Amino acid sequence: MTARRVMIVAGEASGDLHGGNLVRAMHRIDPDIRFTGVGGKQMQRAGVELLADVADMAVVGLTEVVFRLRMILGVLRRLKALLKRDPPDLVILIDYPDFNLPLARTAKKCGVKVLYYISPQVWAWRKGRVKTIRETVDRMVVILPFEEKFYRDAGIDVTFVGHPLLDEVRKKYERPEALKRFGLREEAVTIAVLPGSRRNEVASLLPEMLRACRILTERISPIQFILPIAGTLDPAFVRDILQPFPIRINVVPDEIYDVIAVADAAMVASGTATLETALLETPMVVLYKISGISYAVGRRVICVDHISLVNLIAGRTVVPELIQAEANPERIAAEVGQIVTRREKAREMRAALAEIREKLGTPGASQRTAQIACGML
């Protein structure tokens, strides 16, 4: 019997993580499946033959995309041509809608089944994309509890599998060992600095975070800072940003979960890292900053009250969100300072974050999705 072939496409670090776990789960069911597509180190280690690297694809904001547009469109044309020339048995798309929905349309025309794993946030903005999903996607697999009803009401075949981070997010070290490993002092307040996994968001947010760290150093003593570098980033790029700032900050390669777990509070770029921080019950301040043009366009079409996944899932404000001009050093320092100096505030936030875990379903999302995907082959 000829081995089944799957094209799988992720466009950023979180998608690469979930894609890698899904590929491993599918290989446990059928070790002979062959995977090609777009991803990063996680998917490559799981056995995917990469046609493009996620590190080159991940950008946030309208104007930010323009600088990578030629490269991104080149990859899209290449994948479309491959679908037409040598169609696989299944296409699995992970989030990244402006790239993946056109690819889904081509797959549909070629008679290839499409599974969409991890929904684009069409419930938040540009809801017109639901029509495209209904026309081009055979099966939606969603990871947020409120998404299942949204798609079912739109007439789309959908399954809620729980959030894959429930299988992934766990610390490896107890606090004393983590402190020693990262060169941190027990007696000092520890702040985690999480500026994101995309170059453009790190370039935008990290300088503001570092200025906030300088303010916190003047107000709170002893205090220390730790920054895990996402696997999609070149450490030299991050160190170039750090270089002009006279702040002592411990930089560690990835190990994000142990960094978050050991911290008393975190400043976090909006995105998957906010959920990772929530699952480890570390109080946080969420930051979001893109170009003025991108934000102006986004404000016109976004139709939800919150920007962070934590607050969206909670249905209320659990963690502070500092957006655009509010994501300035003084405000960041003030919000982080309140968390670490007001014990009751930190305790209330931790309790609210514990409730988030309960809403995200049960572990096993990758395995459940793998069973659905293998059933489509």
CA-based nearest residue to 115, from 107, 124, 127 = 107
**Domain covering 175-359, topology:** Rossmann fold (3.40.50)
Amino acid at 144: L
DSSP 335: H
Q: Which residues of 238-258 are buried (b: 16+ CB within 10 A; e: fewer)?
A: beebeeeeebeeeeeeebbbb
DSSP 325: G
The superfamily in CATH containing domain 5-163+361-375 is Glycogen Phosphorylase B; (3.40.50.2000)
pTM for this structure? Answer: 0.82
Q: What does the pLDDT read at residue 125?
A: 59
CA distances from 169 to 173, 299, 346, 358 (A): 13, 32, 21, 14
User: Taking the domains of the chain in order of start, what are their residue ranges?
Assistant: 5-163+361-375, 175-359
Q: What does the pLDDT read at residue 295?
A: 46
CA distances from 183 to 104, 173, 243, 249 (A): 47, 14, 20, 10
Cα angle value 29/34/38 (rounded, 5°):
110
Question: In a structure prediction context, what are the per-residue pLDDT tens digits for the chain, which is 377 residues long?
Answer: 688 999 999 988 889 999 999 999 999 999 999 999 999 999 999 999 999 998 777 554 444 455 567 888 899 999 999 999 999 999 999 998 989 999 999 999 999 999 999 998 776 556 778 999 999 999 999 999 889 999 999 999 999 999 999 998 999 999 999 999 999 999 999 999 999 988 888 999 999 999 999 999 999 999 999 999 987 788 999 999 999 998 999 999 878 999 999 999 999 999 889 999 999 999 999 998 865 544 444 454 444 467 788 998 998 999 999 988 899 999 999 999 999 999 999 999 999 999 998 899 899 999 999 999 999 99
Q: What does the pLDDT read at residue 67?
A: 59
Asked whether the domain spanning 175-359 has the same topology as the one spanning 5-163+361-375, the reply is yes
Cα–Cα dist 271/60, whole Å: 11
